[in-house]
């Protein structure tokens, strides 16, 4: 079984409002995130902050749950979000995505999941022009003990977890680069809107 984890707990300081609720083409970023995972995830968990639970509940269904971080690690970043997803839903693999990449394609998750299964990797993570994208990728349930250890040791960087596990890094092809445009400011959102009309 595969579960999807959408990380939507960031404070969106530079954006000025919650990115999960930002809209493009009359759809919210969270809807795009869910769509990118849906073909391969039996269940999807949206991990967010307390104040976003209510506005995000309209996205909940039999297959989609909206959750806040486990209290012990509240506000401790993406690693805590992955931890919350893993302890809330048992699965063999977890497909992870941030909520600020509305162009991300489900085809990428299909590719990474196949690589994880074929190579028996704990993590499969994309690399674009030398930059590692640890918040996009596939994490096996075998990561949970090390995630727990990291959090208990006050280690919150996902990259530190990847160093402890059998991780496969997959180079992103040139034609796939646009999937990785993340939106941190309203100017970046406007740029994506402009590109969609080019």
Indicate if the pLDDT at residue 3 is higher than 90: yes
Which residues, 6 or more positions from 161, have their beta carbon under 8 angstroms from its beta carbon? Answer: 79, 123, 134, 143, 146, 147, 150, 155
Residues 33-71 pLDDT 10s = 999 999 999 999 999 988 888 878 877 788 899 999 999
Indicate if the pLDDT at residue 88 is higher than 60: yes
What pLDDT, on the 0 to 100 scale, is given for residue 154?
96
Indicate if the pLDDT at residue 184 is higher than 70: no
| Of 86 and 75, the one with more pLDDT | 86
DSSP string, 64-113: EEEEEPPGGGTT--HHHHHHHHHHHS--SEEEEEESS-TT--HHHHHHHH
Q: Which of 4-18, 50-64, 160-174 has the lowest mean pLDDT?
A: 4-18
Indicate if the pLDDT at residue 197 is higher than 50: no
Can you tell me the distance from the alpha carbon of 154 to that of 138, in angstroms, rounded to the nearest whole number? 23
Question: Which residues make up each annotated binding site?
Answer: 7-9, 19, 69, 100
What pLDDT, on the 0 to 100 scale, is given for residue 60?
78
* All structural domains of the chain: 2-197 (3.90.550.10)
Question: Rounded to two decimals, what is the model's pTM?
Answer: 0.90
Q: Looking at residues 9-27, what average pLDDT do you find?
A: 69
Indicate if the pLDDT at residue 178 is higher than 90: no
Residues facing residue 2 across a β-bridge: 93
Question: Which residues make up each annotated binding site for GTP?
Answer: 7-9, 19, 69, 100
Predicted confidence band at 169 (pLDDT cuts at 50, 70, 90)?
very high
Pick left, alpha or beta for residue 16 (phi over 0 → left; psi -120 to 50 → alpha; otherwise beta): left
Question: Which residues make up each annotated binding site for Mg(2+)?
Answer: 100
């Amino acid at each position: 079984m595969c579960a999807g984890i959408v990380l939507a707990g960031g404070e969106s300081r530079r954006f000025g409002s919650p990115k999960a609720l930002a809209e493009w083409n009359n759809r919210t970023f969270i809807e795009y995130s869910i769509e990118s995972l849906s073909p391969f995830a039996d269940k999807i968990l949206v991990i967010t902050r307390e104040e976003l639970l209510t506005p995000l509940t309209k996205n909940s269904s039999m297959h989609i749950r909206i959750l806040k971080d486990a209290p012990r690690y509240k506000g401790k970043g993406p690693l805590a979000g992955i931890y919350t997803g893993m302890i809330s839903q048992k699965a063999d693999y977890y497909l992870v995505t941030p909520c600020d990449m509305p162009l991300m394609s489900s085809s990428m998750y299909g590719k990474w999941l196949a690589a994880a299964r074929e190579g028996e990797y704990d993590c499969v993570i994309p690399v674009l022009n030398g930059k590692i994208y640890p918040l996009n990728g596939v994490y096996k349930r075998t990561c949970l003990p090390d995630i727990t250890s990291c959090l208990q040791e006050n280690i919150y960087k996902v990259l530190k977890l990847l160093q402890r596990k059998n991780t496969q890094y997959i180079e992103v092809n040139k034609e796939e680069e646009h999937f990785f445009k993340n939106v941190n400011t309203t100017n970046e959102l406007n740029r994506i809107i402009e590109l969609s009309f080019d």
